Structure 1
Amino acid sequence: MTDPFFFGYGSLVNRATHVFSDAHPATLTGWRRVWRHTRLRPVAFLTAEPADGVEIEGLVAHVPGDDWVALDEREAAYDRSVVTDRVGHAVPRPIEVQVYSIPSGKHGVPDDSHPVLLSYLDVVVQGYLREFGEAGVARFFHTTGGWDAPIRDDRAAPVYPRHQTLSPDERALVNDWLREVDARVIA
């Protein structure tokens, strides 16, 4: 019998945004993160897509009560794919791992009407920093596509519902990386 787990690669890496206690660092081979939007949400967010030669870090977490319903609600814009054989982890029991992603044809490229929220990006980077250190943050930026997406600076009045408070050093780290990837931050 295998336990159902999911691979989180965005805000779910930040343990302050959820209550999944059975969560473990992991890697997913053959996939990358990319910024996208769908008509189901007014802003852009991360999705994962197959990509040869790429490995991304994240967390695997046990699906609460072995029931996907609540998690599917949180991740309503996504479909699930089984990726068990592509995930490296240290969970000491057999697990089946699925990843949420937006399938081709159901998403678009972010634009000024559908920007990335800086409050969301802050949460993601804070999670990678806490789980994988500054080297993990660098890998996050290098293995994520779509940095030409506009990023709306909503830090003063966060729109992202699971926003977190960042320390001055964490904010500076995010800002430095946004300059590194030539991101366009809009008011």
Structure 2
Amino acid sequence: MSDPFFFGYGSLVNRATHDFTDAHKARLLGWRRVWRHTALRPVAFLTAEPDPQSEIDGLIAHVPNDDWAALDEREHAYDRTRVTGQTRHGVTRPLHIQVYSIPQGKHGAPDRAHPVLLSYVDVVVQGYLHEYGEDGVAHFFETTAGWDAPILDDRAKPIYARHRPLTPHERALVDHWLRKVGARVTTRA
């Protein structure tokens, strides 16, 4: 029998946003991250989509008692897809790994009415920095599509429910990479 695990590639990489303690660094082959929005949420967020040329780092974490209900509620705009054979990790016991993604046709590109929240980007980058270091942050930005999306600067009054405070170094790192990928940060939606 295999243990149920999810592969997190966005805010779930930041361990401060969840209580899943049996978590391990992992890589998902044949997928990439992309900024999208759906009618189920007012803002844009990350999804994963198949891309045979890409690999993304993240965390896998055990779902205790195969109880997906709370995680499914948190990730309510996504479907779950089995990715066991596409995931590389150091766990030696048998696992059944799933990833949350929005299927094609159920999402659109972010726009002014559905921007990416800077507080969300901050949380994701903080997670990658803590797990993978600055090289991991670079890999996150390089393997994520859709940086032409409008990014709403909500740092002063974070809208993202799981926002986390950043150190000055973390903030400077996020800002550096946003400039490097040519992201448009705005103070108005």
Q: TM-score, normalised by structure 1?
A: 0.99
Q: Where in structure 2 are the equivalents of 1:80-99 lying within 5 Å?
A: 80-99=80-99
Unmatched 5+ stretches in structure 1: none
Quote the Cα distance in structure 1 between the aligned partners of 2:69 and 2:129.
Answer: 30
State how 1:51-90 maps to structure 2 within 5 Å.
Answer: 51-90=51-90
- 2:147: which partner in 1? 147
Q: Once superposed, what is the RMSD of the aligned Cα atoms?
A: 0.5
Kindly indicate whether residue 37 of structure 2 is the aligned counterpart of residue 45 of structure 1: no
Q: After the TM superposition, which parts of structure 1 deviate over 3 Å for at least 4 consecutive aligned residues?
A: none
C-alpha separation in 2, matches of 1:81 and 1:16: 24
Q: Distance in 1 between matches of 2:64 and 2:85?
A: 22
Percent identity, aligned pairs only, is: 72
Matched, 1:115 2:104: no
Q: In structure 1, what is the equivalent of residue 126 of structure 2?
A: 126
The letter for the 1-side match of 2:161 is P
Distance 1:65 1:13 in 2: 21
2:178 paired residue number: 178
3-state SS of paired residue (2:60): strand
* 2:82 alignment partner AA: V
> C-alpha separation between the residues in 1 aligned to 2:87 and 2:53?
14
Structure 2: gaps spanning 5 or more residues: none
Alpha-carbon shift at residue 64 of structure 1 (Å): 2.6
SS in 2 for 1:61: strand
Output the amino acid matched with 1:59. L
Q: What TM-score does the superposition give when structure 2 sets the normalisation length?
A: 0.98
- Letter of the 1:147 partner, please give it: W
- Which deviations, in whole Å up to 9, do the C-alpha atoms of 1:11-51 show, x marking residues without a partner? 00000000100000000000000000000000000000000
Deviations 1:120-140 (A, max 9, x none): 000000000000000000000
Amino acid of the structure 2 residue aligned with 1:108: G
Following superposition of structure 1 onto structure 2, how do residues 155-174 of structure 1 map, counting pairs within 5 Å? 155-174=155-174
Look up the SS of the partner of 1:113 in the other structure. coil
Between the aligned partners of 2:124 and 2:92, the Cα distance in structure 1 is 26
> SS in structure 2 opposite 1:151?
strand
Aligned length: 187
Which amino acid in the other structure matches residue 55 of structure 2? E
Residue equivalent to 2:104: 104
Superposed displacement of residue 70, structure 1: 1.2
1:53 is displaced (CA, Å) by 1.6
Provide the residue aligned with 2:32 in structure 1.
32
For 1:52 and 1:146, the matched residues in 2 are separated by 18
